[in-house]
Amino acid sequence: MGYDYQTASLTAQNTFTDWLATPKKSQGGAGYIDLAITGTWEGTITVQKRYDRGGVYTDPIDVKEYTENVAELIEDHVWKVEYRIGFKTGDFTSGTAIVRLDR
């Protein structure tokens, strides 16, 4: 990975950013990711999370869904997790959603 952010202009179903790991944190501390969704779009955008189990990743888990633009902070106390954001199959209607995850 190596990036401190992931961004994408989403215009179709089944499109997501690349995965972004939460920042390294001390044992028991929290990691944070800034989330921003802008643009003119219709549909449902989903934030997904997966766990790193010794280099093998779990299947994605849906964390939260959005139907309008938003800016918020995701807090996670779990080690070795990654996030992505996008339109799942069947969830895009129209427009362009500009999404960004920052760590």
| Domain residue spans of the chain | 5-102
pLDDT of residue 29: 65
Which positions ≥6 away from 56 have C-beta within 8 Å? Answer: none
Regions of the chain where pLDDT drops below 70: 1-3, 24-29
pLDDT of residue 2: 47
Provide the whole-model pTM: 0.89
Q: How far is CA 30 from CA 54, 58, 82, 98, in A?
A: 20, 21, 14, 26
pLDDT of residue 69: 98
Q: What digits encode the pLDDT tens for the residues 57-78?
A: 999 999 999 999 999 998 888 8
User: Which CATH number is associated with domain 5-102?
Assistant: 2.60.120
Contact (Cβ atoms closer than 8 angstroms) between residue 60 and residue 16: no
